[in-house]
Amino acid sequence: MTTSLFRSLYHQGFVRVAACTAPVTLADPHTNIEQIVTTAQTCAGQGVGLCVFPELGLSGYSIEDLLQQSTLLNAVDTALAALARATADLLPVVVVGAPLRHRNSLYNCAVVLHRGHILGVVPKSYLPNYREFYEKRHFAPGAQIRGQTMPVAGQSVPFGVDLLFTARDIPGFCLGVEICEDMWVPAPPSAAQAMAGATVLANLSASDITVGKARTRTMLCLSQSARCVAAYLYAAAGEGESTTDLAWDGQTAIFENGVLLAQSERFPSGARAVVADIDLTLIRHERAQVGSFADCAATTGTPDPLWRSIEFTLAPPATDLGLLRPLSRFPFVPADPTRLEQDCFEAFTIQVSALKQRLKSCRAAGMVIGVSGGLDSTHALLVAVRTADELGWPRTAIRGYTMPGFGTTEQTLASANALMAHLGITRATLDIRPAATLMLQTMDHPFARGEPVHDITFENVQAGLRTDFLFRLANQHNGIVIGTGDLSELALGWCTYGVGDQMAHYNVNAGLPKTLIQHLIRWCIASGHFPADVCTVLRTVLATEISPELIPATAGASQSTEDTIGPYALHDFTLYYVLRHGFGPARIAFMAEQAWRDAAQGAWPPGFLPHDHKSYGLPVIRKWLKVFMFRFFTTSQFKRSAMPNGPKVMAGGSLSPRGDWRAPADGNATLWLKELEDHVPEA
């Protein structure tokens, strides 16, 4: 694959769209199309494939009875012909608002044009006729119009609410159109359009502005995009509309599946176009995955034969246009501090609530946990302590054991002991080295003969002994073993199977990715749940390199997990898009490069110091993506198939075989590795 094609947003399943507003000159269609064409030309230069303009933008919305003047209506028809000619060489589909006559009535319409052709006309279904609105004085409602044609600018074009506009050359690009009030009714036309296949919904609006109304519009757009699992473009009239009795704010915004992608400032002076890249692949996957969407369409949607598909060829550029959409480096970790604080509160509370229920149901008298001084066991211990507090148990009902092995460092050992002491739990040090040495001797392992052989057997003897001790201690003290392994480790199979850290009686961390755990610990510091001496230890844990500490340190450096399996930041990025959206390696590599290639661009979650702001180029992304795909699809599923119970925490998904992820233990990564090899450039 060529690098340019790999970096083409259209090739990768995105489409660039714009919600536009432009100053309107009342009752002057030819001046208005000049504004529209200029804005569309600017958008075309950015690679935009769809431009949506406000309601009645050719004539102006607020012209009252001038809408009934034949001179104006004739001028609108002439202007549409001129607009078609002026956009004949432009990339984007252009959607504009115009008053159009059909048979014995006048309709408030959206006109869809592309490369010199008027593809179709959609009438407004529902007309507001209350408070400041008086549309039924001028227009006829279009909700019942299907299967008709009308003459526009010398062409006979499809006319009705049954039109969907579909790109032949962009999989999943299907446009549905509604107008202003249509969004405010109990059953918006866009809902039926989405169930019939529309992935992109456009709303041409001339909603006047009153205090608080913009929030309501945003809420409706967000909700509709989420319910319809679609992109939703909202373009409202602004500058130039009559202020005889009303005011206009020109609100424009783009939403996707319940997320605001982009919005412009309100009350603009001059034309504005808010541009974003919407993810057609994500929308299509989400609809296919959520079976209730198709069920609802089958039950309540309009039958397929009653929809007309108007096809066009977009022919977008195949060049690198960048990617214009919010794209988090850490999809499990929001960069917004308020949102991150809320997510941490909910995640921690979910863990505590789930563990409380398990302890009550199994009638355990306590908890047993191995504490290493690393991130995962530290956080699991905090959850256990908070759970004991809420149950009214003494903290001594938690038995914490630090179990130094051949690679344990003084720093982590000190952190583990200090943390347990400050938290007031029952604590003990259980040195596993004598038992490990005996096992290695019994097995006739080279290490027992003095040879520096630190293979997987050497490591797993230690990991297995730790877990074996914890289970027997739980038997001895009528407790349950609290698991500490996290979602990222489960994804990569970075855990010792069976009698090892893969197993526990209940794993509170099973739903948490590694990249979120450090922020949860920061939240625990800030929450006030724990005293200052505990928080001091927590800060030390946060500064400690991630390591299993199973191999003796060499040259002062302990064993590094990320040196072996790769950066958790990249793996969690991949995990989110594999697990939540089913993306393949080529799509993930494209997005990862966009998110990670420049450390100076985009927001970082709170707590990252400047020297922690890292960047990764495509060769590094490709290298570790290959590791992830092989480990996730080939080598790790058998461990997940036997994983202990634990709560799902993140909407991004879990890996429980009883929940989000069910896969054969003897699967393979052949297809994923081939896609990576064939479609992701090495340079």
Binding-site positions for L-glutamine = 130, 207, 213
Cβ atoms of residues 208 and 233 within 8 Å:
no
Catalytic residue annotation:
55, 124, 180
Report the distance separating Cα 561 and Cα 537, nearest Å: 21
Strand order in 50-52's β-sheet?
148-152, 155-159, 117-123, 105-114, 93-102, 50-52, 14-21, 272-279
The annotated binding site for deamido-NAD(+) is made up of: 460, 489, 494-497, 639
The burial class, CB within 10 Å (0-12 / 13-18 / 19+), for 418 is middle
User: How far is Cα 463 from Cα 501, in angstroms, rounded to an integer?
Assistant: 6
Query: CB of 347 within 8 A of CB of 650?
Result: yes
Task: Dihedral sign for Cα 242, 245, 249, 252, please.
Answer: negative
Strands across the sheet with 174-179, in order? 259-263, 252-256, 231-236, 200-205, 174-179, 163-167, 308-312
SS3 317: coil
End-to-end C-alpha distance for the chain, whole angstroms = 11
> Which residues sit opposite 120 in a β-bridge?
112
Backbone dihedral region for residue 6 (phi beyond 0: left; psi -120 to 50: alpha; all else: beta): alpha
Please, are residues 598 and 592 in contact by the beta-carbon 8 Å criterion? no
The amino acid at 443 = M
Strand-strand pairing, 117-123 and 105-114: antiparallel
Element (H, E) at 552: none
Distance CA 632, CA 57 (A): 52
Backbone angles phi, psi at 351, to 5 degrees: -60, -45
Work out the burial of residue 5: count CB atoms within 10 Å of its CB; fewer than 13 is exposed, 13-18 middle, 19 or more buried: middle
Calculate the dihedral angle through the C-alpha atoms of 287, 291, 296, 301, rounding to the nearest 10 degrees: 50
Q: What are the distances in angstroms from CA 665 to CA 80, 454, 585?
A: 61, 28, 21
Spatial neighbors of 481 by CB under 8 A, at least 6 apart, are 368, 369, 467, 470, 471, 474, 503, 504, 505, 506
- How far is C-alpha 426 from the chain's CA centre? 42
Q: How far apart are alpha carbons 379 and 534 in whole angstroms?
A: 12
Q: Tell me the C-alpha distance between 232 and 229, whole Å.
A: 9
Write out the binding residues.
Answer: 130, 207, 213, 370-377, 460, 484, 489, 494-497, 639
**Six-digit token pair at 561?**
């997990």
* 58 burial type by CB count under 10 A (0-12 exposed, 13-18 middle, 19+ buried): buried
Structural contact between residues 436 and 465, judged by C-beta atoms closer than 8 angstroms:
yes
- Produce one character per residue of 217-242: b if its CB has 16 or more CB atoms within 10 Å, e if not: bbebbbebbebbbbbbbbbbbbbbbe
Sign for the pseudo-dihedral over CA of 185, 291, 642, 561: negative
Looking only at the bridges linking them, the beta strands covering 259-263 and 252-256 are antiparallel
